[in-house]
Structure 1
Amino acid sequence: MLKKERHDFVMRQINLHNRVLTSDLVQLLNVSEDTIRRDLQELAEDKQLYKVHGGALSRSYQSSFDDSTVYAKDAKIEIAKKAIPLIKDGMVILTGGGTTIIELAKQLPETLHATFFTVSPFVAIELAKYSKIEVILIGGLFSKNSQVTYGGHVITQISEITPDLCLLGTSALHPTDGLTDTDWEINQLKKTMFSASRRTAVLCISEKLGISLRLKVAALQNIQYLVTELPANDAVLDPYRVKDIQIL
C-alpha cells in the first residue's frame, strides 16, 4: 500500500472514530509499528490530527470552540435536530461526549428547562449557555483520548442517579454486535450509563453503521432510540429495526 493510501485510511478511521490506536493500525494495514508512527507524525505535522501516546486523536475532538474541522458536521447537525424532540421540560438527562453530542447541545431551544448530567467538560460548557438548564459535570479521572471523565468515582456517581434519558454518541454500531468501542474504561462507563438510565438514545452518523469494534457496550435491543441523518425509512436502517427500538 502506498503512503498516501495509508494516510487516507488513517484519516478515515480518525474521522469515524475520533481516535486511532497504533496497535490497531499495525494490524489493519499489515505494516510495522515504525511505519505507522512515521505516518502519524507526518499527519500531525500537516495538522490533520493530534499525535498522542499510543495513537492519534481527531483535531475536531479537542475543543467545542473551534468546530471548523468537525467531520460530517451537517449530518451531525441533522441528527441533533432530530434528537431534540426527545428532550422535554423537567427531564433529567445524562450525556456522553463527542462532537455529535456537542452539536446537540448547541441546537437546544432557549426555553428548555431541564437538568443535564454529563461526563464531558466540552458538553458542559455548551449547556452552561442556557439560563434554564442546570448543568452537573460528573468529575473523575479525565481521558485524554475520549475527552470525558471516567473511573470508579464517575461510575459510582452515575449509579446514584436515574436519568430519564441518556444521550450517547458512538464509534460503531452493528446490527448483530450492537454498540461497540475500543477503550475498556470508556466501555465500563457507557455500560453504567445504559444501566442507570430509563431510556437511551444513540446518535450515530450513517458511516458508523455496520462497523464492529473489539469491546461490546450494549446489544441493539438495549437501545430505545437510534438517531441518524438518514430518513427513518431508509433501507440502510432495515437491519436495525428490532423490537422496542425507535429509529428517527
Structure 2
Amino acid sequence: MLTRERKDHILAILQRDGRVVAKVVSQQLGLSEDTIRRDLRELAAEGRLQRVHGGALPASAAMASLAQREDVSTAGKVAIGKAAARMVRDGQVVMLDGGTTALQVARHLAPELRATVVTHSPTVTAELGRHPGIEVELIGGRLFKHSRVSVGAAAMEAIARIRADIFFMGVTGIHPELGLTTGDADEAAIKRALSRQSAETLVLASREKLGAASPFRVLPLEEVDGLVVEADLPREMLQSYLNLGLTVVHD
C-alpha cells in the first residue's frame, strides 16, 4: 500500500470512529506500528489530526487563523453566544475569553444589562465599548496574535487580583478523556488562571470542537461546570459529557 493510500485509510478511520489506534491499524494493514506512527506524525504536521498516546484524534478546526475561524460554524456560534449571554445577571462580574464565539456572547448581552466584564481580548473590549451598561476591565499583556488576546506575566498578575462570578471559556478542543485543549501553552495558562478566579466556568462548545484535540491541555472536564452548545446537537455527541456530570446549556 502506498503512503498516500495509508494516510487516506487513516483519515477515513478517524472520520468514521473519531479516533485512530496505531496498533489496530498496523494489524489491519499488516504493517509495523513504526510505519503507522510515521504516517501519523506526517499527518499531524499537515494539521490533519492530533497525535495522542497510542494513536490520534481529530485536529480542531478552531486551530485555523482567526479570519478562517470566523467562517466556521457561524450560526452555531451565534446560538451559543445568545445562550451564554442570557445567563448573565445584573451586578455580576463576568470573565469573557477571546475568540469568535466569545465575541458572539459580547454581542448578545441584553441592552439593559448592568454588569462588569473582565476580558483579555481587545476585540471583545471594542464590541462591549458600544454597550451602555457594561463596565469593561481590559487585561493587558503580550498580544497572542492567533486569538488576539493578552498573555504573559502581566496578564497573569492582573487576573490574580480579580474574583468573578462566571467565566465563559473558549478552547479549540473538547474531549471526554483528554479534557479541554488549545494550541498555545501561554494561552492555556491564562485560561486556567481565569477559571481559578471564577466561581463558575462554562465552556463555549461549538460542534467542531467536540471530540477534537489540540496540543496543550487547559483543564480536565471535571474542573469546569458545563458546556454551552448549539440546540440541535445530536444527544450521542453530548452523552459522554453528560455522563461526567457536566451541565449542558443551549439556546
TM score, norm. by length of structure 1: 0.73
Partner residue of 2:73?
72
Q: Report how far residue 26 of structure 1 moved.
A: 7.2
Counterparts of 2:231 and 2:71 in 1: how far apart (Å)?
19
Work out whether residues 168 and 203 of structure 1, in 8 Å CA contact, stay in contact via their aligned partners in 2. yes
CA distance change for structure 1 residues 217 and 132 in 2, over 3 Å: closer, same or farther? same
Matched, 1:94 2:95: yes
Partner residue of 2:209?
208
How many matched pairs? 197
Aligned counterparts, 1:13-32, within 5 A: 27-28=42-43
Counterparts of 2:226 and 2:182 in 1: how far apart (Å)?
19
SS at match of 1:86: coil
Counterparts of 2:66 and 2:199 in 1: how far apart (Å)?
32
Partner residue of 1:124?
125
The ranges of structure 1 where at least 4 consecutive aligned residues each deviate by more than 3 angstroms after the TM superposition are 230-233
Q: Report how far residue 231 of structure 1 moved.
A: 4.4
Counterparts of 1:245 and 1:179 in 2: how far apart (Å)?
13
Counterparts of 2:64 and 2:166 in 1: how far apart (Å)?
31
Counterparts of 1:179 and 1:247 in 2: how far apart (Å)?
15
SS at match of 2:145: coil
**Where in structure 1 are there 5+ consecutive unaligned residues?**
6-24, 32-54, 62-68
Partner residue of 2:153?
152
Counterparts of 2:44 and 2:177 in 1: how far apart (Å)?
25
| Structure 1 residues 110-165: Cα deviation after superposition (integer angstroms, max 9, x where no partner) | 00000001000000011111111001111111111221001011011101111100
Partner residue of 1:57?
65
Counterparts of 1:172 and 1:160 in 2: how far apart (Å)?
28
| Structure 1 residues 42-88: Cα deviation after superposition (integer angstroms, max 9, x where no partner) | xxxxxxxxxxxxx9724256xxxxxxx53211010111111122211
Matched, 1:220 2:228: no
CA distance change for structure 1 residues 176 and 153 in 2, over 3 Å: closer, same or farther? same
Letter in 2 for 1:57: S
Q: Report how far residue 245 of structure 1 moved.
A: 2.0
Superposed CA RMSD in Å reads 2.4
Work out whether residues 206 and 230 of structure 1, in 8 Å CA contact, stay in contact via their aligned partners in 2. no
Q: Percent identity?
A: 31
| Structure 1 residues 180-220: Cα deviation after superposition (integer angstroms, max 9, x where no partner) | 11211111111111111110110011121111222211111
Between the two structures, name the one with larger relative contact order (CA 8 Å, sep ≥ 6).
2
Counterparts of 1:60 and 1:123 in 2: how far apart (Å)?
18
Work out whether residues 94 and 165 of structure 1, in 8 Å CA contact, stay in contact via their aligned partners in 2. yes
Counterparts of 1:91 and 1:233 in 2: how far apart (Å)?
32
Counterparts of 1:106 and 1:195 in 2: how far apart (Å)?
25
CA distance change for structure 1 residues 97 and 153 in 2, over 3 Å: closer, same or farther? same
TM score, norm. by length of structure 2: 0.72
Letter in 2 for 1:27: E
Letter in 1 for 2:67: R
CA distance change for structure 1 residues 241 and 56 in 2, over 3 Å: closer, same or farther? closer
Counterparts of 1:145 and 1:70 in 2: how far apart (Å)?
15
Partner residue of 1:168?
169
Work out whether residues 221 and 242 of structure 1, in 8 Å CA contact, stay in contact via their aligned partners in 2. no
Counterparts of 1:57 and 1:149 in 2: how far apart (Å)?
17
Counterparts of 2:44 and 2:216 in 1: how far apart (Å)?
20
**Where in structure 2 are there 5+ consecutive unaligned residues?**
9-39, 47-62
Q: Report how far residue 233 of structure 1 moved.
A: 7.4
Work out whether residues 96 and 167 of structure 1, in 8 Å CA contact, stay in contact via their aligned partners in 2. yes
CA distance change for structure 1 residues 30 and 114 in 2, over 3 Å: closer, same or farther? closer
CA distance change for structure 1 residues 213 and 29 in 2, over 3 Å: closer, same or farther? closer
